[in-house]
Amino acid sequence: MSQELSPIAAPLLNWYRLYKRELPWRRDREPYHVWISEIMLQQTRIEAVMGYYARFITALPDVQSLSEVDNDALMKLWEGLGYYSRARNLKKAAVMIMQEYNGEFPKTCHELKKLPGIGEYTAGAIASICYDEKVSAVDGNVLRVIARVQGSRKNVLLPEVKKSVADQLQKIMPDEAGAFNEALMELGELICLPNGAPLCESCPLKDLCAAYQKDLTAEIPVRVKTMKRRRADLSVFIITSPDGKLALEKRPDTGLLAGMYQLPNIDGFHSDKALMPILHDMDIEPISVTFTKDAKHVFTHIDWYMKAYRVETDHTNDRFIWVTPEERQGSYPLPTAFQKLL
């Protein structure tokens, strides 16, 4: 199978030299910049990441500053990007680099994989882009490109298929390993688009692509999900005090959205009559309770269905953190799931 892929390197690298995007983390091969961008780009499109990346690098320009940042400040920088464990792992890895690597970024894929939050793909990307180590970096874009080139109907969501693609690419890796890996990712981002809509006429690999030759781009890659999603129903309360402060509480330090702030909420949907004793249990004496909206938020393995209620109260209590709109914007990172209710 690796023989099938060997012809792709030259046209791919030529195309990349001509058409690669000018992105802020490509201005140098500084591993810190590449690392932050790669972690941000997991589950998030480049367009959404650009502003976050600029703010993050301005606030935390190096490994040492990241290792020392206050957790709330870190989460505020990450607010809205989602998958917040990524940010927590960034800090853990930064601390490890300072303590165990004397502040020097590891230079091999093997060492990089020892850092929290850095798996096979991210280690391969950093090692190849920054140090031209001949290791593959296989993400969803790369899997899509290779599946179409090979005309493969194997399920690209299976770990063994991903490993097979990584092994094949490893065998044909050119000396310009970083450019080759970035070119494959770039091709998937710009040309070999998902959902049966690739721009094949602009693709440097079209003459080598089985899916293009056989008109199978709408059917390939094959993605068969085996994981069942869970559903959670939440009643969420937007509680405001007479002076306009909003009630927040901090989530546990482990689990989903660990360490983030949230709007008070309870499991399940409840009748209007049942809401009053629930609020009393929270030590809230409501002046009014008004249903505001339904909302849904999708996480990796669970869907939240939320009913939001605006609650006006005539006093604050010690159970919640009461913040002004300015304080919330500046100091209290609120996950997107709750932001959309405001």
Q: Which of 92, 82, 84 is nearest to 252 (CA)?
A: 84
Q: Which of 23, 28, 77 is nearest to 46 (CA)?
A: 23
| CA dihedral of residues 109, 113, 116, 120 (deg, nearest 10) | 100
Same domain assignment for residues 236 and 199: no
Q: Which of 178, 184, 173 is nearest to 140 (CA)?
A: 184
Answer yes or no: is 221 within a domain.
Answer: no
Same domain assignment for residues 201 and 320: no
For position 178, which CATH number holds?
1.10.340.30
Residues 6+ apart with CB under 8 A from 102: none
**From 4, 22, 38, 104, the catalytic residue:** 38
Helices 120-131, 177-190: crossing angle, 10 deg rounding = 120
Name the domain count of the chain. 2
**Final residue of a domain: which of 178, 213, 248?**
213
**SS3 category, 116:** coil
**Final residue of a domain: which of 180, 213, 246?**
213
Same domain assignment for residues 32 and 108: yes
310 beta partners: 238, 290
Answer yes or no: is 270 within a domain.
Answer: yes
pLDDT computed for residue 227 by the predictor: 66
Are 82 and 55 spatial neighbours (Cβ–Cβ below 8 Å)?
no
Is 120 known to be catalytic?
Answer: no
Give the Cα separation of 256 and 237 in Å (integer).
Answer: 19
Answer yes or no: is 218 within a domain.
Answer: no
pLDDT computed for residue 1 by the predictor: 40
Answer yes or no: is 225 within a domain.
Answer: no
For position 277, which CATH number holds?
3.90.79.10
Are 266 and 278 spatial neighbours (Cβ–Cβ below 8 Å)?
yes
pLDDT computed for residue 190 by the predictor: 93
Are 75 and 84 spatial neighbours (Cβ–Cβ below 8 Å)?
yes
Answer yes or no: is 291 within a domain.
Answer: yes
Same domain assignment for residues 144 and 249: no
Same domain assignment for residues 144 and 278: no
Same domain assignment for residues 30 and 61: yes
Same domain assignment for residues 146 and 189: yes
Provide the residue range defining the domain that includes 66.
2-213
Q: What is the torsional sign of CA 159, 161, 162, 164? A: positive
Residues 6+ apart with CB under 8 A from 252: 258, 259
Q: DSSP label at 244?
A: S
Same domain assignment for residues 39 and 154: yes
Answer yes or no: is 60 within a domain.
Answer: yes
pLDDT computed for residue 2 by the predictor: 39
Same domain assignment for residues 54 and 202: yes
Same domain assignment for residues 78 and 192: yes
Same domain assignment for residues 145 and 280: no
**Final residue of a domain: which of 153, 178, 213?**
213
Q: How high is the mean pLDDT in each 10-residue block of the chain (342 residues)?
A: 75 95 91 96 87 95 96 91 89 96 94 94 96 94 95 93 94 95 95 90 95 93 82 95 93 86 94 90 90 91 94 90 90 89 90
Give the Cα separation of 337 and 234 in Å (integer).
Answer: 11
Answer yes or no: is 220 within a domain.
Answer: no
Answer yes or no: is 330 within a domain.
Answer: yes
Query: What pTM, to 2 d.p., does this model score?
Result: 0.74
Same domain assignment for residues 42 and 151: yes
